[in-house]
Structure 1
Amino acid sequence: MNVTQALGLAGVILLAAISPGPDFVIMLRSVLSGGRRAGMACAAGIASGVLAWAVVTSVGIAGLLAASSVAFTVVKLAGAAYLVLLGVQALMAARRGGYEQTAAPEVEQARRSVFTAYRHGLLTNLFNPKVAVFFLALWPQFLPHDATVTDTVVLTAVAVLTSLVWFTVLANVVTALRRFLTASKVRRTIDAVMGTLLVGIGVRIALSQ
């Protein structure tokens, strides 16, 4: 593992992270619901998911998942159901409105918001079978057959840190815009759009082969 390989991997991971998808939508909603701390927690959750996929790909478990249609279908449907559930919750929140009443959560509510944001980030990434396919296609390009444990650790660290840095930056950018984005009418529109996107992504994943 040399510097060129590490930078190349970081570039590929960054491009994948930047591409709009479930992780991006979950991050946006986490910041709008719980602020900067929730956004940072969601970023940590997504990075934890990347860590898990990097590890299981390195030991070959992800290969078994891709080879087994039953296992792939279970993960696919679980992930689709989770995204649809989050989408429905966002749509219900948009329908209810009343965001002003929850604009300043108490300490305990803030803690729950941080934990929830981390869980959403982690599960959204873990239950996305396309992430498994992505790592299966990507890992062999950077990890040779004679790779050492150190090579694997470095590769994993690059993938995790790249994801963490990008989503941390995204969380702070959205936080800077939060005063505008959390205005009642704007937030209601965003929740409606995000809910629709999450449901659509969930259905698309469920129908994917």
Structure 2
Amino acid sequence: MLVAALVFAGVAALVNVTPGLDTLLVVRTSVAGGRVRGRAAALGILTGCAVWGVAAVVGLTALLAASHLAYEVLKVAGAGYLAWLGVTTLWRARHPAPAMPEPATPEPAGRFAAFRAGVATNLLNPKAGVFYLSLIPQFLPHDAHLGGTVLFTAIDLVELALWYWIVSRAAAALADRIRRPAFRRRMEQASGVAFLGFAVNLLVEEA
């Protein structure tokens, strides 16, 4: 089991650091709202991953992979959410709110909105569920299905937490150094286009 866990940790690390939707959300939130909100978004993503891990343990992700209808429904819902996220992001970039003094500590409402976005982005992406169904079993010893799934899910969550901590810190530091409104506006525009691109990709990709 130790060897299998180490091999899985290496493969999962490569997958986790590959730029994707979740990393984009953490970067965009950290630049727009600061490190605390970026980490709130990351916590939401980790919560979604934990839910997918539990679903893998009880077999719900197998149902998702086996049911074409369930996969398509979740895919359309996820694409719709990403499209809404992209459009609202582009709208904010085009119609920025008046500059306000930043509070000493981020408002709880802002942190919760970032957390909620992280949860929704992850849970409405069926490929996140299929990841736990398709990748983890390849490394599990034959006699360790339940405990191994829990262990490997925990390994993945720890790696993701470390990665998002690094990403949010770096993105927020970059935003602090480049305080020009034009930079944040360009970042919002790029993020909005990327969200729309992910939505289209999710719709057209076959299960």
TM surpasses 0.5: yes
Matched, 1:113 2:126: no
Percent identity over the alignment? 38
> Contact 2:57–2:146 (CA<8 Å) still a contact in 1?
no
Counterpart residue type for residue 85 of structure 1? W
- The 1:181–1:126 alpha-carbon spacing in structure 2 relative to 1, beyond 3 Å, is farther
1:199 aligns with 196
Shift in Å at residue 162 of structure 1? 0.9
Residue 177 of structure 1 aligns to a residue whose secondary structure is helix
> Contact 2:31–2:174 (CA<8 Å) still a contact in 1?
no
- The 1:72–1:182 alpha-carbon spacing in structure 2 relative to 1, beyond 3 Å, is farther
Counterpart residue type for residue 25 of structure 1? L
TM-score normalised to structure 2 length = 0.91
Q: Structure 1: which 5+ residue stretches go unaligned?
A: none
Root-mean-square deviation (Å):
1.9
TM-score normalised to structure 1 length = 0.90
Counterpart residue type for residue 23 of structure 1? D
- The 1:24–1:148 alpha-carbon spacing in structure 2 relative to 1, beyond 3 Å, is closer
Counterpart residue type for residue 187 of structure 1? R
1:167 aligns with 164
1:58 aligns with 57
Range moving further from structure 2, 126-135 or 164-173: 126-135
| Counterpart-to-counterpart distance in 2, 1:90 and 1:138 | 33
1:151 aligns with 148
Residue 34 of structure 2 aligns to a residue whose secondary structure is helix
> Contact 1:46–1:122 (CA<8 Å) still a contact in 2?
yes
> Contact 1:46–1:163 (CA<8 Å) still a contact in 2?
no
| Number of residue-to-residue matches in the alignment | 206
Counterpart residue type for residue 69 of structure 1? H
Instruction: Summarize the alignment of residues 29-68 of structure 1 with structure 2, pairs less than 5 Å apart.
Output: 29-68=28-67
Range moving further from structure 2, 143-152 or 123-132: 143-152
Counterpart residue type for residue 102 of structure 2? A
